A and B are shown apart, each in its own frame.
Chain A
Amino acid sequence: MSPAGPPPRGRLLVHGDTPPPLGRELSVIGRSLDRRDALDKVTGAAMYSSDMTLPGLLHAKILRSPHAHARIVRIDTSRAAALPGVHAVLSLENTRGWHTYWYMIAQPAFPEELAYAGQEVALVAAETVDIALEALGLIEVEYEVLPAALTPREAMAPDAPRVPVLDVERPREGNVQQPVYVRARGDVARGLAEADLVSESRFSLPTQYHVDIQTRCCIADWDGRRLTVYEASQGVWNVKRELAKSLGLEEEQVRVVVQNMGGGFGSKAGAQRVVHYAARLAMLAGRPVRLELTRPEEFLSHPRRYAGEVTMRLGARRDGTLTAIDAEIVLDIGSGSLYAGRYSMTLHQISELYRCPNVRVRIVAVYTNTTPTGPQRGVLDPIATFSTEAAIDDLAARLGLDPLAVRMTNYAADFQGLDDTTPALPYTSKHLDACLAAVAEAIGWSERDRPRAPARGAVRRGVGLAAYCIERGGYAPFSAKADVVARPDGSVEVQAGVVEIGAGQITVLPMIAAEELGLPADRIRIHHGDTDGTHYAPSSHASRITSEVGPAVLQAASLVRRRLCELVADRLEVSPLDLVAVDERIHVRGAPERGVTFTEACALMTEPEIRATGSRAPNPDDVIFRLFGAHGAEVEVDVETGEVRVLRIVCSHDIGRPINPKLVESQQYGGAVMGLGYGLYEEAELDGKSGVLLTPDVHQYRVPTALETPIIEARNVEREDAFYPYSAKPVGEAPLVGVMPAVRNAIRHALGIGIDQLPITPARILEALAARKASADAG
């Protein structure tokens, strides 16, 4: 374990007083404790929304559009409604004007004009799934089938059909979302003119599906006054607010409960369509309704990762110094961009990572007649990171320079300003240079061109790396709160409106409270995943729980400690400032015998409980919050079969200090595996004519298994960062973003060819090799 003395607290982001320092070494933070939900998960006791049932439960099923673009001319649900066992039907007929909400983005619940194959047309709630399915077959729909635009190219054509979108309130021009996003710094034309070499690269990055292993499932229960929803969502508070708005209820009338969830990865960040439908059906039927999607429905209907076509032009001098970065990104946002248009996310990698006076980033977001898009682990970071880091390697190759040396030549220690109007500022901390060095050492960078014995026939070996810079560390509205409660019997509870997504949220937050109170972590209970009994907390997305809810828990626990110290100080007739909470005791600093046990201290309270609320303050604007790190990859490529075998992935995250190193590494393994899937295996196919998804299953859409997973090593860089609780910087998404470019660059090193389309399948490698051979033969 690395030495972790008391970190500075000067900039801990809380409202009110900054919690005082502990004045002692840390005893809980920094330990690889077992996650507290693991026991229930290995015994089968953990209940997910799909495992629950309620008395009188009805089952709902969804009728979906078979067409990529169509108008409903006539819909008649009367025969379905009349089927015995059917209790409620939803469609355009009885819901005109109804909107569902996701990230508070309004979407028509049942539009007349349908935007993609698989869109919801009607729902039935019935006594059994079989009856519901039979009823769907009795719904008569007459469609006017309209021409569809399935790709940005088709959608931007002069005579393109107008895509009817879900994010109806967004401005658009034709099928292009408005405004077109442009940020520029300096003068790109001049920078390109000054360059000794302009290196152009074009990349094609496909969509990616989340493939949560638990398919969406919720149970909605309306008692005539209050709606209770048992969900698999990443954020109970987001769902509560969005449902209340959609259904015209007071927020107090909606309770959302998520005790366990089977994977999220961004796909469940807010109130999913299924939740709105189940709730409305339950309110209509007066009985609880269960709505569970099948695996194919998961693929057809939920927002997936943005796809992007990218053109990068890098201008550089012969020594590799960048003079210009010009990036043009065309995003396929499907029939709705359900992420509030945070296209600025692409900027940070492209415009900040390297020192460059002249940068331009232009993003054109195009609607198509395909499933809507939304956040997925890293959101737009993979597009930006892949494009920048692959382009840097291409540039280095064209200049005959070492790609790592080019990165260091252009290293940017400080924030350079996103455009000419934003000031240059420091980062909260940045140790990317140390991350790159750690990866280079672990992956054997300096020996990468030394031939390896024995050479094996058609197998070529390569090593590559990539750096990343992503914008994380807290988001508006910065209103996370959490309570810590101590009771006379000595028990302590953290109450936080967060969801355990599988990243360890309910393990880490009690560790923070335990540290502040001088208790072992297992003495702290946590009430979570429930809007009853908690304050607002953000969804478990955007790597934000530890950095946003963590400070609130820290502050609340510190306030509880202060109150207990006051009680003990009165008893011992000392100043509370002389007391320290450690080893389950509160005693005079330096005199452990002059004190009481924690439980005895709690027994001194005259009130029924000591409760304190911690509250996260906004990020200050005089410092920039970003995350940094690097990935390295070692691969073998078979030039006869095109098969890529990844031997090793090295991850180095500029982590600050890990609260629980074991859980941090698990995030890094998971991110790397999902990145490998995106880089090498996962590919969906749409029928180019009908717009129907041909690969709606995990047999054809290939997510990685244990068989493809290489050795994954974490070589994190640990340093203090006073803006985070115990210096713990976020880690959830970053472990994915550098994997794809590192693997691509390793394949480039192995073959001398940059593959510019993901996933890098054997077919694409063979095609690239054949093209090189053809070009050499022609030459």
Chain B
Amino acid sequence: MTTALGPRRPVSLTVNGRAQNLEVSPRRTLAEALREDLGLTGTKVGCNRAECGSCTVVLDGRAVFSCSVLAVEAAGRVVETVEGLAGPDGLHPLQAAFIEHDAVQCGICIPGMLMSLKALLDETLAIGEDDVRQAVGGNLCRCGTYPNTVKAALAAARALRERAGAEAR
């Protein structure tokens, strides 16, 4: 019945801390694998050609457009999606700050925004407005929440710095 599909290949990867073993077509994108094979529909697909950023996930610590990474390319690698952002202690500071600063309207771009910023904050907490703008420069939000995105990201960085400071003491 199926057409134009090559033989499926086994792909093992880590998603949100859990090992996953998939059998995927070689042309399946990481976004499709996450959404359709693993049911992780938090990752959205708004253009399917690396233009809108709504499919952004973190792959081995870097923010990538998952619509433009093949699932087979993710073999053996570590993927983080919006579903893995909250921890056992509750929301990630980015999530809490997005709520508090109302950086969410229709919400469709938010998973991508959050993952772009997660990659930034994992790299450094010493960020300013320009770093935030650069980090989400590839995430389109047609509701125009950007001013609140900036406020929220800076607040989250502040919260994480304070947490790190408290732990250091």
A213 to B48, CA, bound (A): 11
Contact B81 A44 (CB under 8 A): yes
Residues of B1-25 whose CB lies within 8 A of A: 1-5
Known: A127-B1, A214-B44, A706-B139. A34 touches B51 (CB 8 A): no
In the bound complex, residues from chain B placing their C-beta under 8 Å from that of A213 are: 44, 46, 52, 54, 106, 108-109, 140-142
Q: Interface SS of chain A: helix, strand, loop or mixed?
A: loop
Q: A417 in the interface, Cβ–Cβ < 8 Å?
A: no
A-B contacts, CB under 8 A, total: 178
In the bound complex, residues from chain A placing their C-beta under 8 Å from that of B145 are: 666, 669-670
Contact B140 A705 (CB under 8 A): yes
Q: B107 in the interface, Cβ–Cβ < 8 Å?
A: yes
Contact B44 A262 (CB under 8 A): yes
Closest to B92 in A: A42
Q: A48 in the interface, Cβ–Cβ < 8 Å?
A: yes
Q: B110 in the interface, Cβ–Cβ < 8 Å?
A: yes
In the bound complex, residues from chain B placing their C-beta under 8 Å from that of A709 are: 133, 144, 146-147
A-B contact pairs, 6 of them (CB 8 A): A43-B86, A210-B142, A213-B46, A213-B140, A263-B108, A670-B105
Contact A42 B99 (CB under 8 A): yes
Known: A698-B51, A707-B134. A46 touches B107 (CB 8 A): yes
Contact A673 B144 (CB under 8 A): yes
Contact A43 B144 (CB under 8 A): no
Q: B37 in the interface, Cβ–Cβ < 8 Å?
A: no
* Nearest Cβ on chain A to B128's Cβ, whole angstroms: 13
Contact B104 A35 (CB under 8 A): yes
Residues of B108-162 whose CB lies within 8 A of A: 108-111, 114, 132-134, 136-150
* Nearest Cβ on chain B to A490's Cβ, whole angstroms: 26
Contact A666 B108 (CB under 8 A): no
A215 to B146, CA, bound (A): 21
Known: A35-B102, A84-B1, A263-B108. 15 other contacts (CB 8 A): A34-B102, A37-B104, A38-B107, A43-B85, A51-B35, A134-B3, A212-B106, A262-B106, A265-B142, A662-B102, A663-B102, A666-B102, A704-B146, A705-B137, A711-B147
In the bound complex, residues from chain A placing their C-beta under 8 Å from that of B77 are: none
Interface size class of B (residues with CB under 8 A): 35 or more
Q: Interface SS of chain B: helix, strand, loop or mixed?
A: loop
In the bound complex, residues from chain A placing their C-beta under 8 Å from that of B104 are: 35, 37-38, 41-42
* Nearest Cβ on chain A to B14's Cβ, whole angstroms: 18
Known: A37-B107, A706-B137, A707-B137. A212 touches B142 (CB 8 A): yes
Known: A295-B46, A707-B134. A670 touches B143 (CB 8 A): yes
Contact B144 A47 (CB under 8 A): no
Q: A50 in the interface, Cβ–Cβ < 8 Å?
A: yes
Closest to B46 in A: A213
Closest to A52 in B: B41
Closest to B153 in A: A706
* Nearest Cβ on chain A to B88's Cβ, whole angstroms: 14
Q: B100 in the interface, Cβ–Cβ < 8 Å?
A: yes
In the bound complex, residues from chain B placing their C-beta under 8 Å from that of A50 are: 44-45
Contact A34 B100 (CB under 8 A): yes
Residues of A42-85 whose CB lies within 8 A of B: 42-48, 50-51, 84-85
Q: B65 in the interface, Cβ–Cβ < 8 Å?
A: no
Contact B142 A263 (CB under 8 A): yes
In the bound complex, residues from chain B placing their C-beta under 8 Å from that of A51 are: 35, 41
Q: A503 in the interface, Cβ–Cβ < 8 Å?
A: yes
Q: B38 in the interface, Cβ–Cβ < 8 Å?
A: no
In the bound complex, residues from chain B placing their C-beta under 8 Å from that of A214 are: 44, 46, 106, 108
A34 to B144, CA, bound (A): 18
Contact A697 B98 (CB under 8 A): no
Contact A669 B114 (CB under 8 A): no
In the bound complex, residues from chain A placing their C-beta under 8 Å from that of B95 are: 42-43
Residues of B39-64 whose CB lies within 8 A of A: 40-49, 51-52, 54
The answer, among B105, B108, B149, for a CB contact under 8 Å with A706, is: B149
* Nearest Cβ on chain A to B45's Cβ, whole angstroms: 8
Residues of A261-312 whose CB lies within 8 A of B: 261-265, 294-295
Q: A375 in the interface, Cβ–Cβ < 8 Å?
A: no
In the bound complex, residues from chain A placing their C-beta under 8 Å from that of B47 are: 215, 295, 697-698
* Nearest Cβ on chain A to B157's Cβ, whole angstroms: 15
Contact A502 B143 (CB under 8 A): yes
In the bound complex, residues from chain A placing their C-beta under 8 Å from that of B148 are: 666, 669
A667 to B48, CA, bound (A): 28
Contact B110 A42 (CB under 8 A): yes
A711 to B146, CA, bound (A): 10
Closest to B137 in A: A707
Q: B73 in the interface, Cβ–Cβ < 8 Å?
A: no
A705 to B147, CA, bound (A): 11
* Nearest Cβ on chain B to A35's Cβ, whole angstroms: 7
In the bound complex, residues from chain B placing their C-beta under 8 Å from that of A294 are: 48
